[in-house]
Amino acid sequence: MKDIAIPDMIRMMVPSILGLLINRFILQPNQEHDDDMEIQQTIDFIMHGLAADR
Residue pair 42/17 in contact (Cβ under 8 Å)? The answer is yes
Per-residue pLDDT at 1:
57
The tens digit of pLDDT for each residue in 15-46 reads 988 998 999 999 999 999 898 998 898 888 88
Per-residue pLDDT at 52:
67
Confidence label for 12 from pLDDT (cuts 50, 70 and 90): confident
- The DSSP code for 23 is I
- The C-alpha atoms of residue 27 and residue 38 are separated, in whole angstroms, by 15
